[in-house]
Structure formats: structure tokens, C-alpha cells
Amino acid sequence: MSPTLSQHEALRYIRAKVDQLLTVMGTLPLRAEELDDDTLIALDPIGIIAESFRQVITHLNETNDRLDVTQKEIRAILDTLGAAVVVLDIEDRVEDCNSRASEWFFGGADRTQVAGRLASEVCTCAEALVGVRADADGTPHSLSLHGRDVQVVASRIFNDAGHHTKTVILFTDITQQKDKERHLKLYAEVFRHVGEGILITDADNRIIEINDAITRITGYPRDELIGNTPGSFKSGLHEKSFYEDLWRTLREQGYWQGEIFDRTHAGQIIPLLQSISEVRDAEGVLTHHIAVMTDISSLKETQTRLDFLAHHDVLTELPNRLLFSDRLHHAIERARRDQHPVALLFIDLDRFKNINDSLGHHVGDLLLIEAANRLKGLVRRADTVARLGGDEFVVLLESTASHATAALLAEKIVMAFKQPFTVSGLDLHIGCSIGTTLFPDDGDDAGTLLKNADAAMYRAKETGRDGHVHYSAELSVAMTDKMELDNALRTAVRENSFELYYQPIIDITRGRVVACEALIRWPGGPATARTPDRFIPVAEETRLIVPLGEWILREALERLCAWRDAGLGLDYVSVNISAVQLAQPNFIDRVIALLNETHVAGSELQIELTENVLMGDIELCAWVLAQLREHGIRVAIDDFGTGYSSLSYLKQLPIDNLKIDRSFVRDIPGDPNDCAIATAVIGLAKTLGLDAIAEGIETTEQQAYLAQIGCDKVQGYLHARPMPAANFETFARNF
Ligand code: C2E
Ligand code: MG
Ligand code: MG
């Protein structure tokens, strides 16, 4: 306390005393206020003032001491504060600060070192200080200081005269608090947006909070749930004991997880994966439950569907190979134990490939579904019908299985499949071939039984389709033959033991050999498979046709070139191309390379494709043919009339030539149907601006008729059989 202040206080006290005195004496005409201090002291006639003054001083000293102590206490308090306190005067001089402030703002210098100095001189971040002082109004502000979140409150201090004399600024580090807030905000966001439903109940299991997902999953609006118990969700599908177990586990372990069926607001049952946790306070008293639930309906559906798919064929929904072999294994086990036979029918659709290739996979698929349904309708419930893949089906007969019952069922199926299938408005004739086997006679295990049934089915196919064959040991020999044929073909490709024959294509109006078709021969081939009809399908199956086909092309082109050099001019050589070759990604490149190597122009080559090849992958074909056309290569449709080609497609494909199949030529002119077909095809060719060649002309009558209906190009035994190159040359020169 300043001495003037204490004296002033003392004088005020004395003045009061004197007033009392004067009142008592009533002698002086003056009031104490009117006396100045010196007069007052001098006027102490009876020593009252001096005494009073002494008392006052003593009193003041005591007060001073007390204030000192208080001030020290205040300082200690200020220094232990987590906050920084700075007092600035109105000129921004530091008047006081606590230890936290010296640490934050004054580089550790204590208040005695900074007191009286301008903040801008001593403070490491004076702008913050001064800035805050400028708008000190006692309201808290947040700011970032040294990378921390700080809350600032600045208050102005006024003297008795109401003048602003200083500003006290309080900085509190609220980084942790802010972090907590941020976390809380984050948790709230998670709570709101998480896919799982979260539901919080109080200790009495009343719902106090839910997130949006709960509403999405259960369909309950928020206000129908808050305050209620989760009992509204009960589906009624669980026993009482289920919930009792749930609560017991929850009480014992503080946590429960499991699958539960609940009922939605709309009354629909949904499977949920749910976990419930207890929340307890520091004293261990239960305060809340938190339930997290995931809708697993789609997961369940997927699981069921996956289970089904793993064992069933997607298209027909029949058991697949996996499930079938499982059933077959069990059937054999039972049969072995109970000593009864088991029969197996291996069914393959006839001409399915044609339909698939020509009418497209969609029609093929629908047909397979129809076939599966027809099959299912023919067997008893106890029997298993399965689809092994492609157009292969199997039937497993367990009870009453015998040669006779298997044959009977096979016959029934063959007859049923002779009836056309109506698919996409089309009547499709397919038929089927069946091989049958019996356990234990034709195989002791599932694998052998199935393999032998397959072999029997092949035999059924070979001996004219639409039939059934029971397995016999000789059939295994036939299978072995096929493998041997494949081996022999491979050796033949390697050793180059094929030969190309050429059959002339004759323009009857000009009486000239205008071109030739190259046809492969295998002189050293096995007697049963020497003709291309027999070995080409095997080569296609094993893709050996790719190297073989390349050899054929090269050979034919080289031959054409040699003939040309020798003065034998032909318009083109026609080469048969299989679907497997056409589907090779480098097919076009290979053809072009071969043309270049053999110095043959594109227009001197014609490739022959059957309708089914063309319709197989119409887009691919259209593209390939367009590429070929760009190089001038001619394209002919071989065996025209035997497939399922669509005229509208034909029109879109760059085709030069239709080769009328031999089967329509054979009975000309006797058969009016064939005559009509031949006439129509030739008319069609003319309309589409195509050439037409009649294949398989054997008689002059056939030729005469064809000439009459406008077909001027022919090929057939009437003129020449396919022959070796040298013979062809002679033939063509002398024609
Ligand atoms: P394709 O392309 O329709 O060939 C015509 C077939 O009819 C040839 O049989 C030919 O010898 C035969 N032929 C020709 N004129 C007459 C006739 O007047 N009467 C009778 N009965 N038949 C006649 P080949 O050479 O046995 O060929 C059969 C099939 O094998 C060919 O039918 C073709 O699809 C395929 N093929 C032949 N050579 C090749 C080849 O180099 N590559 C490919 N991918 N397939 C070939
Ligand atoms: Mg041909
Ligand atoms: Mg042909």
C-alpha cells in the first residue's frame, strides 16, 4: 500500500473522529471537511488526533502485513495455475505475469525481468498478446498458439476514476479438451454413418439412442424406439430359453454375440448378426448396454445360393457333376452293402452343337433347360438326374435297377427326345444318344461306371444317332481306337504324311475348269479313318487341325503358284477351313503371310466355311470375313442348306459363293422337293449377287437340270473325283 494512500485513509479516520469531537464540543463554527490536512493536524488541541493517527498507522501496518501475505498467496496460486496470466498496462507494457506466462511468452524470463517492458520487446509472440488486449471484453476466444489450442480471456481493469489502467489476459491451454471434442465429433460421425445399426439402452434396457442404420435395418422410426425396450424387435422365432441364455451370457461375460432373427416394423423377419456389450461405471455399476447389429439377409441368401451353386448347374438347376459323383459314390456303397445293382444312363443330345452354333447360345441354353425338364419328367423322384456339362446328362437309378429297367428308361428317353422342342417359337429336332452301365457288372467304382457309360453313349452316336447302347467290353476297345487315332494323326502331322487332292470346279457354260477344291487325303491312315470325314473331327477335337490346316493352305497355295508358272491358269483354289482355325486370333495374319510367301494374290484363294461355322460366332465371323475381303480373298459357304443359317445374317456377311450341298443335288431331277430347293438356292444366290456351285454332280441329268435353272458351276464325280495334283494338271489341260 502506498504511504499517501495510508495517510489518506488515516486522515479520513481522523476526520471522522474530529467530527465526533466537534459535535461534542459544538464550539467551532467550522466542519471538519473544510479543514485542510495540515490545519487539522495542527488543530489537535487535546492530542486526540495524534493518538488516533498512531492507532490508525498501527492498524494500517497490520493490514499491510496481511495484504503482503495475501499477495504472496495470490502469486502462488497464479503460479500454480495451468493458465498463463499476463497483465499489460495501456501502453502494452508488461505489468505482471505468472510463471506459465513467462514460459509461454517471455522465453522463461521471470516477471521481475519483464515488468515495465514493452510486450513487443520481450514477448515471443507479442501480436497475440497485444491483439487480444485490443478487444478485451471478458469473452473467451480461441486461438492457436505454438501449435496448441488456447482459450483467451482478456478483462480490462479500471481505476476508481473509471479509467482503463490495465488489462489482465488469461491464456488456457485447451488442446486436450479440443482433441477430446474432435474425437467426440468423430465418434458421433462414425455412430451416424456406420453401416451397422447401433442401439444404446440404459441400465433398465430402455433405448436412449440409436443411429440411422437401426431405422434403415428395422424400419422403426427413431421416436418409436426411444424410451422403449428392444423387445419390439422380437420375431417370435426364438424360444424363451434363447433370450435367457443371451442375458445370462451378457451378465456373466459382459458381452454376447450371435445371430438373431428380428422382426422389422413392416413385420418382415430378418437375420441379424448382433453383439451386445454392457457398459459399467468406475464403481462397476451397470449404466448402459450397447447393441451393434448387422443385417445378414443378403449374406444368408448368398450363402444358400452359393451352397446351391456349388452342387447344382446354374442353367438347369440340376445337380452338377460334384453332387452327382457324391450321390453315385453313396449309391455304390449302399448297393455293395445291400447287394443290389445300380444303373447309370449317360445321355448326350444329338445335333445340339448345330443348334448352338447356328441359332446362338441363348437358344442353346433354353433348349438345355427344356431338355432337363423333359428328363426330370421321365424319371421317378428317387432317381437322380444331373447335368455333367455341355449337352451331357446322367440318370442314376438306384432301386429296381437292372439291365431291363435301364434299357426301358433309355428307350423312353430316346422316344421322348424325338419329339421336337419348342424354343423361342422354333420347333427344334435334336434327339439323343444314351449309353447305359450297371453296377457291379460294368464297373466296380463310380469313375469306371461313368467312363464306360460314356463309351457306350459314343457307340450309340456312331451307330446312327437316336439310340441307346449298353456298355460292353469291346467299347473300351473303341475308345482306345480313338486315342490311337489321335496318336497316329499327330505322327502323321509331324512326318508330313498327308496329301492334297484336287477336285475340279467346272463352268459348264464355258466348258472350262475354272478352279479346284483342295481335299485332304491320308494314304497311310488307319483303314477305318482314312477319309477326312472321319479324321478331321478328331483333329478338330484335339486342335491338331491348326498345324494341319496351315500345312493344307501352304500346300494348296504353292500348288496354285506352280500351276500358274507352268501355264495352267485357274481363277482360284478353294480350301476348307474349320471353325477351330477361324477362331485362332492370328488366323488372318497367317493367311496373309502364306499368300505373301507363296506369291499368290488374295483373289486366287477361296476359303470354304460351313453355315454352322459362320453362325457360331456371327460377330467374329463378320469381322474375320471383312478382313479377308479386304485382301481380296473369296469366301464360300460349304454344304449350303444343311445348317441353320439365317438369311438376314447371310446378307450381312461378305460372301462370294454358295456351294449347294450334295444332298439336294442327289435326287435331282427326280425329287420335286430337291428340285425346288435347288431352284430356290440358286435364285437366292442370284438375288444376293453370289456365285453358286452345285456339289456332288454325278449324272448328266443332274447337270442338265441345274444348267436349266441357272447354275453354271458344278463339281462332282460326273467330271472328276478329287485327284492328286499331277493328275489334276493333266485333267485340267485336257478338259
Ligand atoms: P466338302 O468340303 O463338302 O467336300 C466335298 C466332299 O464331297 C469331298 O469328300 C468330295 O470327295 C465329295 N464329293 C465330291 N463330289 C462328289 C460326288 O459327286 N459324289 C460323292 N458321293 N461325293 C463327292 P471328302 O474329300 O471325303 O471330304 C469330306 C469332307 O471333309 C469335306 O466336305 C470337308 O468338309 C472335309 N475336308 C476335306 N478336306 C478338308 C481339308 O483340307 N480341311 C478341312 N478342314 N476339311 C476338309
Ligand atoms: Mg468343301
Ligand atoms: Mg461340301
CATH number at residue 359: 3.30.70.270
Closest residue by CA, ligand 1 atom 20: 696
Find the 244 Cα to ligand 3 centroid distance in Å: 80
Residue numbers of the domain that contains 266? 194-301
Of 301, 330, 347, the last residue of a domain is 301
Q: Which atom of ligand 1 is nearest to the CA of 717?
A: 18
As a whole number of angstroms, the distance between CA 314 and CA 721 comes to 50
- Please give the model's pTM, rounded to 2 decimal places: 0.49
Q: Is 589 a member of any domain?
A: yes
Find the 639 Cα to ligand 3 centroid distance in Å: 4
pLDDT of residue 30: 58
Q: Is 231 a member of any domain?
A: yes
Q: Are 414 and 350 in contact (CB under 8 A)?
A: no
User: Measured from the CB, is residue 555 less than 6 Å from ligand 1?
Assistant: no
Q: Are 568 and 584 in contact (CB under 8 A)?
A: no
**Which CATH number do you get for residue 673?**
3.20.20.450
User: Measured from the CB, is residue 576 less than 6 Å from ligand 1?
Assistant: yes
Strands (E) in 125-284, as ranges, are 141-145, 148-158, 164-173, 197-202, 207-210, 255-263, 269-280
Say if residue 201 is in the same domain as residue 157: no
DSSP 90-131: TTSBEEEE-HHHHHHHSTT--HHHHTTSBHHHH-TTHHHHHH
The low-confidence residues of the chain, meaning pLDDT below 70, are 1-7, 18, 20-37, 39-50, 52-53, 134, 464-465, 478, 616, 644-647
Place of cell 417370435: 236
As a whole number of angstroms, the distance between CA 636 and CA 660 comes to 10
Say if residue 24 is in the same domain as residue 173: no
pLDDT of residue 92: 86
Say if residue 458 is in the same domain as residue 511: no
Residue 95 CB burial class (10 angstroms; 0-12, 13-18, ≥19): middle
Q: Is 482 a member of any domain?
A: no
pLDDT of residue 392: 95
Say if residue 415 is in the same domain as residue 452: yes
Find the 348 Cα to ligand 1 centroid distance in Å: 27
Say if residue 667 is in the same domain as residue 723: yes
pLDDT of residue 4: 47
Q: Is 169 a member of any domain?
A: yes
Residue 651 CB burial class (10 angstroms; 0-12, 13-18, ≥19): exposed
Q: Is 478 a member of any domain?
A: no
- Dihedral angle at the C-alpha atoms of 177, 181, 184, 190, nearest 10 degrees? -140
User: Measured from the CB, is residue 364 less than 6 Å from ligand 1?
Assistant: no
Alpha-carbon distance values, 592 to 21, 63, 277, 627, 631 (Å): 140, 118, 74, 10, 8
Q: Is 187 a member of any domain?
A: no
Q: Which ligand is nearest to the CA of 639?
A: 3
**Which CATH number do you get for residue 243?**
3.30.450.20
Q: Is 189 a member of any domain?
A: no
Say if residue 578 is in the same domain as residue 714: yes
Q: Which three cell numbers stand for residue 655?
A: 460372301
Q: Which ligand is nearest to the CA of 550?
A: 1
Amino acid at 7: Q
Say if residue 214 is in the same domain as residue 171: no
Say if residue 131 is in the same domain as residue 160: yes
Say if residue 553 is in the same domain as residue 674: yes
Q: How far apart are the first and last CA of the chain?
A: 145
Q: Are 319 and 384 in contact (CB under 8 A)?
A: yes
Say if residue 126 is in the same domain as residue 16: no
User: Measured from the CB, is residue 698 less than 6 Å from ligand 1?
Assistant: yes
pLDDT of residue 468: 92
Strands (E) in 549-674, as ranges, are 572-576, 605-610, 634-640, 657-660
Of 471, 498, 514, the last residue of a domain is 471
Reference 662, options 517, 563, 468, 520; nearest CA is 517
Alpha-carbon distance values, 725 to 339, 502, 594 (Å): 65, 6, 19
Find the 576 Cα to ligand 3 centroid distance in Å: 9
Find the 421 Cα to ligand 3 centroid distance in Å: 28
Say if residue 548 is in the same domain as residue 692: yes
Reference 97, options 116, 70, 124; nearest CA is 116
Say if residue 459 is in the same domain as residue 591: no
Alpha-carbon distance values, 62 to 14, 49, 142, 257, 445 (Å): 18, 20, 43, 73, 117
User: Measured from the CB, is residue 550 less than 6 Å from ligand 1?
Assistant: no
Total domains in the chain come to 5
Q: Is 701 a member of any domain?
A: yes
User: Measured from the CB, is residue 366 less than 6 Å from ligand 1?
Assistant: no
User: Measured from the CB, is residue 319 less than 6 Å from ligand 1?
Assistant: no
Q: Which ligand is nearest to the CA of 534?
A: 1
Of 151, 178, 205, the last residue of a domain is 178
Residue 339 CB burial class (10 angstroms; 0-12, 13-18, ≥19): exposed
Phi-psi region of 498 (alpha: psi -120 to 50; beta: other; left: phi over 0): beta
User: Measured from the CB, is residue 578 less than 6 Å from ligand 1?
Assistant: yes
